[in-house]
A = this chain, B = another copy of it.
Amino acid sequence: MAIWLLLLLSYAIFPLYSSAISITNKITPGFPSSKFIQPEQQATKTTTSKLYKEKFFTQILDHFNYNPQSYQKFQQRYLINDRYWGGAGNNNSPIFVYTGNEGDIEWFAQNTGFMFETAPYFKALLVFIEHRFYGKSMPYGGSKEIAYSNSSTLGYLSSTQALADYATLILDLKKNLSATDSPVVVFGGSYGGMLAAWFRLKYPHVAVGALASSAPILNFDNITSPFSFNNIITQDFRSESENCYKVIKRSWQEIENTAAKPGGLEILRKSFRICKNYISAGSLSNWLGTAYTYTAMTDYPTPTNFLNPLPAYPVKQMCKAIDDPATGNNTFEKLYGAANIYYNYTGEAKCFDLIDDSDPHGLGGWTWQACTEMILLTDGNTEDSIFPASNYSYNDRLEFCKSNFNIEPKPSWIPTEFGAQHIHRVLKRFGSNIIFFNGLRDPWSGGGVLKDISKSVIAIVAKEGAHHVDLRFSTSEDQGGFKM
């Protein structure tokens, strides 16, 4: 009856926040394991660090109130690259700004090659601004420990404050560069794409346009079906192989049945090479579900290292492992092969931790955002879902947030502040210069803008595209690639 597990990806734009509900209805958040990829991650950073200089801006803590504490300042990090910039003065060459999302801004810069590759054509200055409460942009003297200590300090982590940060920083930067007439275009992917679109809508006097890639701005209450997200994951796997889908679909019960047997957990531990620590049916299912979900999201056509190192077309590779005749009818061996694609493509891992608290990209703040305003609905599973059928339950979120932060989410705030209902009607004669990109293999695309709204508020839809694939660096494997 599938009551034992729900894959609760509700909060996840990226890795963000994946969680499972066990029979006891506890939500245990967990980030995708990535401890094995640290060396390569490090290498990437070394290579790409020449792409930009790191700077800091003295930012105000609270833009909207005037209590004494609102006046507190913090250092906000941004990365800048002026190699291609045509300069201000008579040229008024443009400024491309990445509106940072929920993590270390270097990570996003390194995965947004599109900006570096288009900059020379537009003689653009590149700026990547880090989101408050992430990376090095911590209020309270830069102390993450203090900033994350309780709801009084975390309270200033919100999307509206982040947008006001960007407006303030951009206007100040332009003034300092004597570039007040240089047009600004904002770019962002995922939550960063939401911020880019919202920024153009709320601050048209600061940005002349936005590229909002894989921005699920419609993934809110009563607008996008809470079944949409998992329906797309289901379809991703099913499109590769019906057998693959079926093996995964029936595996949840098999895991549950095995775990319930005497010695069953040991069987599971051995099958999945789980290290000698915590194991349960729920945590194992969550660990697998996380792998399927993020693999579907990052089902890129070239080898990548965004969340974890992955081969090209990783969903196809997972299904290949599952469909492999060599594993016969051994479901666990098949699933282990699939999980290996996501968790161990480099082959370095000898065993796995089901619960991994490492957070190499500094994404932890999303849990707070998901408990306050970012109530993205993704947890429903129909009878056909690759995951166990389940309804979305707002109460699970509520309980989790109450017990973790003693706070109640405000699910109606984002639609109130930014609008989402009837977006085609609202923006048809209002707003301009926004590109919404979505790849239809991306589970977030269900909450994206998929149809043109007006002549200059347009939708680009890539049928076979994954999560903001358009923003990635081009590679030699690209079919066609970027040409101007």
**Chain A residues engaging chain B, CB cutoff 8 angstroms:** 62-68, 70-71, 151-152, 154-158, 160-161, 164, 167-168, 171, 180, 201-206, 368, 372-373, 406-408, 412-413, 416-423, 426-427, 429-433, 456
Contacts and interface: CB of A to CB of B under 8 A. Distances in A.
Given A417-B164, A419-B203, A427-B204, A65 B62 contact: yes
Nearest to A160: B64
Contact of A71 (B158, B408, B421): B408
Contacts of A423: 205
Given A171-B416, A429-B456, A431-B430, A68 B155 contact: yes
A167 B417 contact: yes
Contacts of A180: 421
Contacts of A65: 62, 64-65, 155-156, 158, 161
Nearest to A65: B155
A168 B66 contact: no
Contact of A205 (B151, B205, B368, B422): B422
Q: How many copies does the complex hold?
A: 2
Q: Which 3 A-B pairs have the closest CB atoms?
A: A205-B419, A67-B155, A66-B372
A164 B406 CA distance: 24
A202 B202 contact: yes
Nearest to A426: B205
17 contacts: A63-B64, A64-B65, A64-B158, A65-B155, A65-B158, A66-B157, A66-B158, A68-B406, A71-B408, A167-B416, A180-B421, A203-B419, A204-B419, A205-B420, A205-B426, A206-B416, A429-B433
Contacts of A407: 66, 68, 71
B416 A67 contact: no
Contacts of A421: 180, 205
Nearest to A153: B67
A156 B65 CA distance: 5
A202 B198 CA distance: 10
Contact of A206 (B157, B205, B419, B456): B419
Given A64-B161, A66-B151, A430 B427 contact: no
A471 B407 CA distance: 44
Q: Which of A64, A152, A171 has the most CB of B within 10 A?
A: A64
Contacts of A372: 66
Interface hub of A155, A160, A202, A412 (most chain B Cβ within 10 A): A155
A420 B205 CA distance: 8
Contacts of A63: 64, 160, 413, 417
Contacts of A168: 416
A2 to B, nearest CB: 33
Contacts of A416: 164, 167-168, 171, 206
A369 to B, nearest CB: 9
A413 to B, nearest CB: 7
Contacts of A161: 64-65
A245 to B, nearest CB: 38
Contacts of A417: 63, 164, 167
A208 to B, nearest CB: 9
A152 B205 contact: no
Contact of A151 (B68, B152, B203): B68
Most chain B C-beta atoms within 10 Å of own C-beta, residue among A65, A204, A419 = A65
Contacts of A368: 66
Nearest to A422: B205
A470 B201 CA distance: 30
A16 to B, nearest CB: 18
Contacts of A158: 64-66
Nearest to A429: B432
A201 to B, nearest CB: 8
A221 to B, nearest CB: 12
A73 to B, nearest CB: 12
A156 B432 contact: no
Nearest to A175: B412
Nearest to A161: B64
Contact of A204 (B71, B205, B431): B431
A66 B204 contact: no
Nearest to A202: B202
Contacts of A456: 429
Contacts of A167: 416-417
